[in-house]
């Protein structure tokens, strides 16, 4: 996984490959050379604007910038923040938001291609409208390079938010009662005791 230090090292290699001093790069990037030196110090992640100016100043082609943007976003993601979001998730929406932060910046299409999970299913998980099976959600987060701590936090959140046996039993009873009412209505309709509503 990309971190601040490795991202800074990658910027440094790009500058060296371009054969530019920091002063020369400052003229091209329109940022001061101390600012650009800080961008490659590895102590703090530069803003995307600074990284973008640095890369374009070094002659990185525009079609490669989205790749760099993904690397920058990965470096900007603090794994402890994701774990914290997962640990404090109180409902499916919170869980979805945490998983969305974990899989960012990939598109639903890219996630579908990487995992084989339909994008509509992934979207439902990220919106919090459906609870994923633990093994399928683990497959998703593992495919995007989640750390062991993040994967464990996802599994814990899913277990915590899964309905208990009492809730499942009540849901089954409601479903059974609905199916019974539907069966009675069908019988009445077929015997002519219940007329279908006229078409509008």
CA atoms within 13 A on the CB side of 159: 9
pLDDT score, position 73: 82
pLDDT score, position 10: 94
Beta strands in the chain (DSSP E): none
Is the pTM above the cut of 0.85?
Answer: no
pLDDT score, position 168: 47
Q: In the predicted model, is pLDDT for residue 43 greater than 90?
A: no
What is the spatial distance between Cα 40 and Cα 43, in angstroms, rounded to a whole number?
Answer: 8
pLDDT score, position 5: 85
């Amino acid at each position: 996984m990309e971190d601040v230090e490795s991202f800074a090292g990658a910027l440094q290699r790009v500058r060296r490959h371009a054969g530019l001093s920091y002063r020369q790069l400052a003229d091209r990037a329109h940022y001061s050379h101390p600012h650009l030196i800080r961008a490659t110090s590895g102590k703090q992640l530069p803003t995307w604007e600074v990284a973008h100016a640095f890369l374009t100043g070094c002659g990185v082609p525009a079609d490669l910038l989205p790749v760099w943007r993904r690397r920058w976003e990965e470096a900007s993601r603090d794994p402890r923040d994701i774990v914290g979001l997962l640990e404090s998730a109180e409902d499916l929406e919170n869980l979805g938001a945490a998983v969305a932060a974990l899989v960012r910046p990939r598109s639903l299409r890219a996630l579908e291609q990487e995992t084989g999970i339909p994008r509509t299913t992934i979207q439902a998980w990220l919106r919090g409208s459906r609870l994923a099976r633990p093994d399928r959600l683990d497959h998703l987060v593992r495919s995007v390079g989640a750390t062991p701590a993040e994967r464990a936090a996802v599994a814990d959140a899913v277990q915590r938010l899964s309905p208990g046996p009492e809730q499942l039993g009540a849901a089954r009873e409601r479903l059974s009662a609905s199916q019974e009412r539907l069966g009675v209505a069908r019988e009445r309709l077929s015997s002519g005791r219940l007329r279908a509503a006229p078409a509008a």
